[in-house]
Structure 1
Amino acid sequence: MLPKRTSKAELIFQYANLAAITLLCVSVLYPFIHVLSVSLSTPAEAVRPGIHLYPKAFTFSAYEQALQTKGIWMGYYNTIFRTVVGTILSLIIMTMGAYALSKKYLPHRGFYTMFIVITMFFSGGLIPLFLLVKGLGLYDSLWALIIPGLINTFYMLIMRNFFFGIPQELEDSAKMDGAHDFQILFRIILPLSKPILATIGLWLAVHHWNEWFQGLIYIQDQSKLVLQIYLRRLIVESSDLETKQLMDQASDQEVVAESIKSAVLMIATLPILVVYPFIQKYFVKGALVGSVKG
């Protein structure tokens, strides 16, 4: 059978889509390329107005200056701790909750599901949450950035829908062999759920890595600040003593403040960019299957 000829209207639609996607990609990539170019440029090039697509005068001075600050390394440690521990704990708890909700024989399953869904639309508010965190003794602790947000209702429902698509016969055969629920979950269900676990894990990791507001209201100890708070002070406030000293050094040495800010932005962004390619192959499959099943 001869292939169907593409009509003129379909060609116009395809070219319009291609143009729109190209513009979207350019709009997303340009800020990143601009910041990278400024961070690798000499002072004269960094302060030059206009578009920066590549560093015309190449130097690593801004990165050397930025990495000498103690705040960067403390922020990195606290952010990595929060991201790794928070992501792992959230995946464990949400996986067990989603697995239970996916079982039709769970008593009052509809009530539990509705009870959880309500939290997507109604909450106690910021002040009650702050008082709760303080009352639990979590204030000024890194656990205040992890424990209150362990469960994301939307993500857990996506995982539940993914579990709906796993054949029940696999569990029935395992139970006939004497396996209990935890063995079924960790030895059968989880190995089959790598796409959704990788997808949700990536979403959680990006959230923990980029989130700064909780650290702003729950953390007072300067040694417990996450990287995004330090980055905010550097770019927006410039109120931190170490930040002021860094800017003063940058203003009268071989780098300028714009180069320092761009370098710190790149330092804070690169870890997520490095992790994403390893998870990308699971991303689309996990998101689509978890959204349409059930």
Structure 2
Amino acid sequence: MSKFKLNEDKLFSFFVYFLITVITILVALPLVYVLGGSLAPRSEFVTRNFFLIPKEISLDAYKYLFNSSEFLNALKNSIIITGIGTFINMLFTTLMAYGLSKRWLVGRSIINFMVLFTMLFSGGMIPLYLIVNNLGLLDSYWSIWLVGAISPFYLIVMRGLFGNIPDELEEAAKMDGCGEWRLLFSIALPLARPAMATFTIFYIVSHWNSYFDAILYLHDQDKMPLQVLLRRLIIMEEDFFDPHIADIAFSQAVPLAAIIITIVPLIIIFPFFQKYFNKGFLLGSVKD
């Protein structure tokens, strides 16, 4: 019986490792292809139908992009949208979650119901566009920042986390002269650090990958973020490229290089938040 159990465990372990290996290869293969293609010269795309590792290394595609004022402007726009947008998200989400965690708050149950309702049901794209238009926010970054200023799901999780703070701890802090703002910054926020780090990275990814909101609310091409420009590169819109540098511009290496530049900031940022990732989601999931 024990020998059968041992063989069964080995078979299960083999299956798990095999499955993980296959999934890893499937996930890594597109990234390796994009990275290899971004470093390949135009001639290699002509002579080889598919390759992962180029025979020659060329940085012409990256040089072309970083010499493009339009690309650099889109990169700057994405940094502005992501930086300010994430700050607004975390500020509003944290303050509202902390307020709703207080049982003495008048109308708390009604507001909580409204938050939950907006998570389950949406008014739709057209009503939202009309609201943004009537507020005069079209063609402004505020249309992107304010529309998604608070994620109901993140708010509910953080509210549960703040609600888990023992009442005795708050009472002891108040006896020492702490007000609500001091409680928030000295007690609540340090305890919520894992959740805040987790939701910060999610908000960063959401803003950095913002595409649909940009094309819906922004009309000025000079305000478009990197993802909108990336689409133009992928479908090879000729008005982006300099016709005098056709050998570089119309090779497939340019859009592949743009993809690498787009994902590198997220790859750099994520390890700093990884240790909080799992813990941040579990902290606020037990108690209201």
Give the deviation of 1:250 after TM superposition.
5.3
The 1:240–1:45 alpha-carbon spacing in structure 2 relative to 1, beyond 3 Å, is: closer
Q: Which amino acid aligns with 2:253?
A: S
The residue type paired with residue 128 of structure 2 is L
Greater CA drift, 14-23 or 142-151: 14-23
- Identity of paired residues, percent? 37
283, 287, 290: which one pairs with 2:281? 287
Match of 1:270 in 2: 264
Distance 1:46 1:186, change over 3 A: farther
Q: Which residue type is aligned with residue 49 of structure 1?
A: N
For residues 240-262 of structure 1, give each alpha carbon's deviation from its aligned partner in whole angstroms, at most 9, with x where no partner exists.
Answer: 62x1x24x455435x65210010
Partner of 1:224: 223
Match of 2:42 in 1: 43
Judged with a 3 Å threshold, the aligned counterparts in structure 2 of structure 1 residues 108 and 10 are, in CA distance, closer, same or farther, namely farther
Gaps of 5+ in 2: none
Determine the structure 2 residue equivalent to 1:252. Answer: 247
CA deviation map 1:170-189 (0-9, x unaligned): 21111111211111111211
Change (3 A) 1:36 1:63: same
1:232/1:94 CA distance change after superposition, 3 Å? same
Root mean square deviation, CA, Å: 2.0
**TM-score (normalised: structure 2):** 0.92
Segment drifting more, 121-130 vs 223-232:
121-130
Please give the per-residue CA displacement for 1:122-171, whole angstroms capped at 9, x wherever unaligned: 22211111111111111111111111110110111111122233333221
User: When the two structures are superposed, what TM-score results if normalisation uses the length of structure 1?
Assistant: 0.90
What is residue 199 of structure 1 aligned with on the other side? 198
Q: CA deviation at 1:292?
A: 4.1
CA deviation map 1:218-277 (0-9, x unaligned): 1111111111111111113x4462x1x24x455435x65210010111111111111011
Query: What SS does structure 2 have at the residue aligned with 1:252?
Result: helix
- The residue number in structure 2 matching 1:94 is 93
Between the aligned partners of 2:194 and 2:73, the Cα distance in structure 1 is 33
Paired residue secondary structure (2:120): coil
Task: For structure 1, list consecutive stretches of 5 or more residues without a partner in the other structure.
Answer: none
User: Which residue is equivalent to 1:126?
Assistant: 125
Alignment correspondent of 1:234: 233
Contact 1:250–1:257, Cα closer than 8 Å, also in 2:
no
Letter matched to residue 132 of structure 1: I
In structure 2, what residue type is equivalent to 1:95?
T
Deviations 1:14-60 (A, max 9, x none): 222222222222211111111011001122334422241x3321111
